[in-house]
A = this chain, B = another copy of it.
Protein backbone atom coordinates (compact mmCIF):
# COMPACT_ATOMS: atom_id res chain seq x y z
CA UNK A 1 0.00 0.00 0.00
CA UNK A 2 1.24 3.44 -0.93
CA UNK A 3 1.75 5.98 1.84
CA UNK A 4 -0.90 8.69 1.96
CA UNK A 5 1.60 11.41 1.25
CA UNK A 6 5.09 11.70 -0.19
CA UNK A 7 7.42 14.23 1.38
CA UNK A 8 10.56 15.31 -0.44
CA UNK A 9 12.77 18.34 -0.38
CA UNK A 10 13.36 20.93 -3.05
CA UNK A 11 16.36 23.24 -3.40
CA UNK A 12 15.65 26.67 -4.69
CA UNK A 13 17.30 30.02 -4.81
CA UNK A 14 16.15 31.97 -1.69
CA UNK A 15 14.74 34.82 -3.76
CA UNK A 16 12.77 32.45 -5.95
CA UNK A 17 11.38 30.79 -2.82
CA UNK A 18 10.29 34.22 -1.59
CA UNK A 19 8.54 34.88 -4.85
CA UNK A 20 6.87 31.51 -4.73
CA UNK A 21 5.42 32.69 -1.41
CA UNK A 22 4.14 35.90 -3.04
CA UNK A 23 2.49 33.89 -5.79
CA UNK A 24 1.03 31.40 -3.27
CA UNK A 25 -0.56 34.25 -1.34
CA UNK A 26 -1.75 36.16 -4.43
CA UNK A 27 -3.56 33.13 -5.83
CA UNK A 28 -4.92 32.05 -2.45
CA UNK A 29 -3.20 28.69 -1.96
CA UNK A 30 -2.84 27.38 1.59
CA UNK A 31 0.90 26.76 1.32
CA UNK A 32 3.86 26.12 -1.00
CA UNK A 33 3.08 22.41 -1.36
CA UNK A 34 -0.39 23.13 -2.61
CA UNK A 35 0.81 25.79 -5.06
CA UNK A 36 3.54 23.50 -6.44
CA UNK A 37 1.16 20.53 -6.77
CA UNK A 38 -1.20 22.81 -8.71
CA UNK A 39 1.56 23.84 -11.15
CA UNK A 40 2.64 20.24 -11.65
CA UNK A 41 -0.93 19.18 -12.47
CA UNK A 42 -1.34 22.08 -14.91
CA UNK A 43 1.80 20.95 -16.74
CA UNK A 44 0.58 17.36 -16.80
CA UNK A 45 -2.85 18.25 -18.19
CA UNK A 46 -1.08 20.19 -20.93
CA UNK A 47 1.37 17.33 -21.52
CA UNK A 48 -1.39 14.72 -21.91
CA UNK A 49 -3.60 16.99 -24.03
CA UNK A 50 -0.98 16.72 -26.77
CA UNK A 51 -1.08 12.91 -26.74
CA UNK A 52 -4.01 12.08 -29.00
CA UNK A 53 -4.80 8.67 -27.50
CA UNK A 54 -4.66 9.74 -23.86
CA UNK A 55 -8.06 9.80 -22.19
CA UNK A 56 -9.09 13.27 -21.08
CA UNK A 57 -12.18 14.91 -19.63
CA UNK A 58 -13.31 18.36 -20.65
CA UNK A 59 -16.07 20.72 -21.61
CA UNK A 60 -17.32 22.18 -24.88
CA UNK A 61 -18.95 25.58 -24.36
CA UNK A 62 -21.24 26.92 -27.09
CA UNK A 63 -23.02 30.28 -27.21
CA UNK A 64 -25.81 30.76 -29.76
CA UNK A 65 -29.13 32.38 -30.47
CA UNK A 66 -31.79 29.73 -30.08
CA UNK A 67 -33.92 31.54 -32.66
CA UNK A 68 -31.39 30.57 -35.30
CA UNK A 69 -33.25 28.25 -37.62
CA UNK A 70 -32.23 24.63 -37.52
CA UNK A 71 -29.28 25.21 -35.19
CA UNK A 72 -30.44 23.12 -32.27
CA UNK A 73 -31.46 20.22 -34.49
CA UNK A 74 -27.95 20.16 -35.96
CA UNK A 75 -26.26 20.34 -32.59
CA UNK A 76 -28.37 17.46 -31.33
CA UNK A 77 -27.65 15.40 -34.41
CA UNK A 78 -23.86 15.82 -34.01
CA UNK A 79 -24.13 15.06 -30.32
CA UNK A 80 -25.80 11.77 -31.15
CA UNK A 81 -22.93 10.84 -33.47
CA UNK A 82 -20.58 11.30 -30.53
CA UNK A 83 -22.96 9.98 -27.93
CA UNK A 84 -20.37 7.86 -26.16
CA UNK A 85 -18.13 10.89 -25.63
CA UNK A 86 -20.76 13.12 -24.03
CA UNK A 87 -21.55 12.55 -20.36
CA UNK A 88 -24.05 15.32 -19.79
CA UNK A 89 -25.25 18.63 -21.18
CA UNK A 90 -26.17 21.82 -19.30
CA UNK A 91 -28.20 24.45 -21.08
CA UNK A 92 -28.58 27.95 -19.62
CA UNK A 93 -30.41 31.03 -20.85
CA UNK A 94 -28.22 34.11 -21.02
CA UNK A 95 -30.97 36.45 -22.18
CA UNK A 96 -34.06 36.44 -24.39
CA UNK A 97 -31.98 35.41 -27.42
CA UNK A 98 -28.78 33.84 -26.22
CA UNK A 99 -28.16 30.38 -24.81
CA UNK A 100 -25.01 28.78 -23.49
CA UNK A 101 -24.77 25.02 -23.81
CA UNK A 102 -21.99 23.25 -21.94
CA UNK A 103 -21.18 19.63 -22.71
CA UNK A 104 -19.23 17.53 -20.24
CA UNK A 105 -17.14 15.23 -22.42
CA UNK A 106 -14.56 12.48 -22.06
CA UNK A 107 -12.52 10.27 -24.36
CA UNK A 108 -9.20 10.19 -26.25
CA UNK A 109 -7.91 13.77 -26.69
CA UNK A 110 -8.07 13.63 -30.48
CA UNK A 111 -11.70 12.47 -30.59
CA UNK A 112 -12.78 15.08 -28.10
CA UNK A 113 -11.08 17.71 -30.29
CA UNK A 114 -12.91 16.39 -33.36
CA UNK A 115 -16.25 16.62 -31.57
CA UNK A 116 -15.47 20.20 -30.53
CA UNK A 117 -14.54 21.16 -34.12
CA UNK A 118 -17.78 19.68 -35.45
CA UNK A 119 -19.88 21.61 -32.94
CA UNK A 120 -18.14 24.98 -33.04
CA UNK A 121 -18.30 25.19 -36.84
CA UNK A 122 -22.08 24.79 -37.01
CA UNK A 123 -23.64 27.82 -38.70
CA UNK A 124 -25.10 30.15 -36.08
CA UNK A 125 -22.67 29.35 -33.26
CA UNK A 126 -21.44 32.71 -31.92
CA UNK A 127 -18.54 31.29 -29.96
CA UNK A 128 -17.34 27.81 -29.11
CA UNK A 129 -14.48 26.66 -26.88
CA UNK A 130 -12.96 23.37 -25.88
CA UNK A 131 -11.46 23.09 -22.40
CA UNK A 132 -9.42 20.03 -21.53
CA UNK A 133 -8.86 18.78 -18.01
CA UNK A 134 -8.01 15.51 -16.30
CA UNK A 135 -10.26 12.50 -15.75
CA UNK A 136 -8.84 12.60 -12.25
CA UNK A 137 -7.26 9.16 -12.60
CA UNK A 138 -3.77 10.54 -12.92
CA UNK A 139 -4.05 12.57 -9.76
CA UNK A 140 -5.08 10.77 -6.63
CA UNK A 141 -5.06 14.10 -4.87
Give how many A residues have a beta carbon under 8 Å from the other chain's beta carbons.
Answer: 78
**Complexed CA–CA distance, A135 and B27 (Å):** 23
Q: Which residues of B contact A6 (CB under 8 A)?
A: 11-14, 16-17
B104 touches A15 (CB 8 A): no
> How many of these chains are in the complex?
4
Q: Which residues of B contact A7 (CB under 8 A)?
A: 9-12
Q: Which residues of B contact A68 (CB under 8 A)?
A: 141
Q: A63-B136, A90-B90, A95-B137 are in contact. List 8 more A-B contacts (CB 8 A).
A: A6-B11, A8-B10, A16-B40, A23-B44, A39-B43, A68-B141, A90-B104, A124-B141
Q: A10-B10, A34-B123, A121-B29 are in contact. Are A140 and B40 (CB under 8 A)?
A: no
